[in-house]
């Protein structure tokens, strides 16, 4: 399979090649971390054809015997070159017990430049953070951006392509499948099962599969709604599944650790106070969300906020939900000293909707950029300093601060 460069990631990784830092690609399974490892390896070989690359893929049976840091050290040291620059690539490194001890060992010897991937947020906390503090760089890998989606699928930038993006999501492997909704949704359902089983149920030794199915269904059906653990617990109780709010919070954290979902806290626009209850949850890949609900329940309006959130995250923003008096601002996005505000609507169908979407933003008195994003065929343009922009144009914009 040919490698299509994801240039943003390649640009980011180039500055760390041959530096004494462990490069860690993190993110949900199947967002393209393995792809980026291979892309990085190809780039290194292009720059130095004599580079010696050791590649360990923990999803391949051939590397099944490398299951702890002892066997990892033994394998790598037996494959090091004495005459060439050595590069170590490990895919799904969290599958190796005590891997962080091996990585520290290699780094201390300064004999190999290290790159690895992981599908669990916990791998960068606890013992790893202690043993490797200041010795690694974390690179978050996300589903395809809209521009990447067009490139991967060789599509024109039009509303039909946007519709496919909203329905299928941004998992890179979809480009290899028949462009048939049933085929793609079947693939997405299988990926979801893999994530839930490997990265949640198996990792945390949970046997209540039915509960997780109900929990994920609930989150998928309520991505644009404010949620509390008590609300979920009450819903599950109505479905004859008795789970306490405390356990719900724990299980939601497991889903976040697997990068399947992200939690957005509510923040007061003026005081910057963070509210402790009523959060929103969005999926890393909304295609998986659509597969959970089923093809027959696919709805464009129900995916808009998730797609906008994903674009903001891909651009490196820290994203929260805004609260202004009793009103909601869909997104407050912050990156360094830069802040933008975003409201999302399906269609600005009448003056009432226009007043609601623009009116909330007009109450914010600072001069940071403010956007209303919708699918209206004709943009309103700038309205009292607030930019109205079509979703396609918003997703192509990589500098929202202007």
pLDDT tens per residue across span 202-247: 999 998 888 888 999 999 999 999 999 999 999 888 888 888 999 9
Q: Give yes or no for a contact between 372 and 343, defined as CB atoms under 8 angstroms apart.
A: yes
Q: What is the pLDDT of residue 234?
A: 93
Q: Does residue 75 carry a pLDDT above 60?
A: yes
Please report which confidence band the pLDDT of residue 358 belongs to, taking 50, 70 and 90 as the band edges: very high
Average confidence (pLDDT) over 363-382: 92
Averaged confidence pLDDT in the chain:
94
Please report which confidence band the pLDDT of residue 297 belongs to, taking 50, 70 and 90 as the band edges: very high
Superfamily assignment of 7-140 in CATH?
P-loop containing nucleotide triphosphate hydrolases (3.40.50.300)
Question: Which long-range contacts (C-beta less than 8 Å, at least 24 apart) are formed by 378-387?
Answer: 380/348, 380/354, 383/354, 383/358, 384/358, 386/358, 386/361, 386/362
Q: In the chain, pLDDT over 90 holds for what percent of residues? A: 83
Answer CATH for 144-402 from 3.40.190.10, 2.30.42.10, 1.10.10.10, 3.30.56.10: 1.10.10.10
- Reading the block at residue 374, the tokens are 């919708």
Average confidence (pLDDT) over 84-113: 94
| pLDDT tens digits, 10-53 | 999 999 999 999 999 999 999 999 999 999 999 999 999 999 99
* Whole-angstrom Cα Rg for the chain: 22
Higher pLDDT, 213 or 88: 88
Please report which confidence band the pLDDT of residue 380 belongs to, taking 50, 70 and 90 as the band edges: confident
Neighbours of 128 (CB within 10 A): 23
| pLDDT tens digits, 307-354 | 999 999 999 999 999 999 889 999 999 999 999 999 999 999 888 889
Q: What is the pLDDT of residue 2?
A: 65
Q: What is the pLDDT of residue 378?
A: 85
Q: What is the pLDDT of residue 133?
A: 80
Q: Are strands 338-344 and 261-264 parallel, antiparallel or unpaired?
A: unpaired
Q: What is the pLDDT of residue 237?
A: 87
| pLDDT tens digits, 389-398 | 999 999 999 9
At residue 284, φ and ψ (nearest 5 deg) are: -55, -45
Q: Return all residues near 302 (Cβ < 8 A) that are at least 6 apart.
A: 223, 224
Q: Does residue 1 carry a pLDDT above 60?
A: no
- 7-140 against 144-402: fold identical: no
| pLDDT tens digits, 178-202 | 999 999 999 999 999 999 999 999 9
Q: What is the pLDDT of residue 128?
A: 65
| pLDDT tens digits, 110-123 | 989 999 999 998 88
Residue boundaries of the structural domains of the chain:
7-140, 144-402
Q: In the chain, pLDDT over 70 holds for what percent of residues? A: 99
Question: Which long-range contacts (C-beta less than 8 Å, at least 24 apart) are formed by 372-375?
Answer: 372/342, 372/343, 372/344, 372/345, 372/348, 373/304, 373/308, 373/342, 373/343, 373/344, 373/345, 374/344, 374/345, 374/346, 374/347, 374/348, 375/300, 375/304, 375/346, 375/347
Q: Give yes or no for a contact between 244 and 228, defined as CB atoms under 8 angstroms apart.
A: no
Q: What is the pLDDT of residue 127?
A: 58
- Reading the block at residue 314, the tokens are 């891909």
Q: State the residue for tokens 């300064």.
A: 110
Q: What is the pLDDT of residue 208?
A: 83
Q: What is the pLDDT of residue 4?
A: 86
Q: Please, where are the H alpha helices in 222-295? A: 229-238, 245-257, 286-293
């Amino acid at each position: 399979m040919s490698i299509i460069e994801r240039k943003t990631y390649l640009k980011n990784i180039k500055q760390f090649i041959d530096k004494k830092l462990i490069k860690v690609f993190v993110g949900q399974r199947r967002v393209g971390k393995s792809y980026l490892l291979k892309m990085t390896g190809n780039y290194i070989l292009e720059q130095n054809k004599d580079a010696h690359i050791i590649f360990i893929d923990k999803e391949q049976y051939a590397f099944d015997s490398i299951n702890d840091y002892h066997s990892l050290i033994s394998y790598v040291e037996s494959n090091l070159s004495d005459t060439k620059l050595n590069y170590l690539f490990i895919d799904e490194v969290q599958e190796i017990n005590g891997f962080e001890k091996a990585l520290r060992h290699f780094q201390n010897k300064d004999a190999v430049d290290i790159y690895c991937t992981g599908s669990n947020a916990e791998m960068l906390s606890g013992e790893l953070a202690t043993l490797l503090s200041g010795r690694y760089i974390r690179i978050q890998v996300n589903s395809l951006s809209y521009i990447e989606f067009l490139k991967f699928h060789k599509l024109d930038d039009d509303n039909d392509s946007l519709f496919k993006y909203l329905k299928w999501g941004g998992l890179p492997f979809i480009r290899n499948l028949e462009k048939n909704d049933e085929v793609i949704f079947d693939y997405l359902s299988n990926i979801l099962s893999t994530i839930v089983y490997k990265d949640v149920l198996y990792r945390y030794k949970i046997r209540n599969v039915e509960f997780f199915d109900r929990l994920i269904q609930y989150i998928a059906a309520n991505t644009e709604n404010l949620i509390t653990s008590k609300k979920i617990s009450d819903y599950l109780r109505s479905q004859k599944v008795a789970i306490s709010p405390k356990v719900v919070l724990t299980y939601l954290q497991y889903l976040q650790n697997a990068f399947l979902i992200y939690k957005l806290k509510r923040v007061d626009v003026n005081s910057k106070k963070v509210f402790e209850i009523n959060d929103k949850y969005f999926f890393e890949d909304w295609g998986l969300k659509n597969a959970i609900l089923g093809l027959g329940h696919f709805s464009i309006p129900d995916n808009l906020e998730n797609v906008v959130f994903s674009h903001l995250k891909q651009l490196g923003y820290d994203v929260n939900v805004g609260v202004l008096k009793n009103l909601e601002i869909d997104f407050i996005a912050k990156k360094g000293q830069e802040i933008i505000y975003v409201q999302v609507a399906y269609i600005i169908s009448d003056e009432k909707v226009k007043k609601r979407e623009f009116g909330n933003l007009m109450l914010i008195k600072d001069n940071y950029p403010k956007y209303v994003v919708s699918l209206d065929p004709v943009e309103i343009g700038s309205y009292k300093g607030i930019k109205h922009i079509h979703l396609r144009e918003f997703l192509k914009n990589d500098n929202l601060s202007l």
